[in-house]
Amino acid sequence: MTIRLVLAGLLGYLFLMIFSTPALAFDPLAGPCGSGGGSSVCLESSSQNPVVNTIKAAAKIVSIIAGIAAVIMIIIGGLNYITSGGDINKAKSARSKIIYSLVGLVIIALAYTITNFLVDKLL
């Protein structure tokens, strides 16, 4: 029993370390080309429209906040699952919390991608 708990904890920790790092890998307040953005390629591809830049910055900030919330819910669900103590209802609740959080992460990534695509094409 304890070996399973240790393995589940280690696998959960590894999973979170692998998938939570990319969510925090960009600066939402940096320009469209990052903080260095001085190359001519970067300047040509960046939008001069302040509405586009505002929408993109807002989408980044919202996706970061929602991604952090989803990762926290995955951690809480994992801890609930580990400490369920054999109670089927607690384990089922924790498992559904983890699954819903993962679905939320996928939806966040898709919403961010679709928002950027539509803003680039329409504005």
Mean pLDDT, residues 106-114: 92
Query: Is the full-model pTM beyond 0.75?
Result: no
The identity of residue 122, as a single letter, is L
Per-domain residue ranges of the chain: 2-21+49-122
pLDDT digits (tens, 9 = 90+) for 70-83: 999 999 999 999 99
Closest by alpha carbon to 19, among 61, 74, 56? 74
Cα angle for residues 34, 35, 37 (degrees, 5° grid): 70
- Reported as a single tens digit per residue, the pLDDT across 51-73 is 888 999 999 999 999 999 999 99
Residues in Cβ contact with 80 at an 8 Å cutoff, skipping those fewer than 6 apart: 90, 93, 94, 97
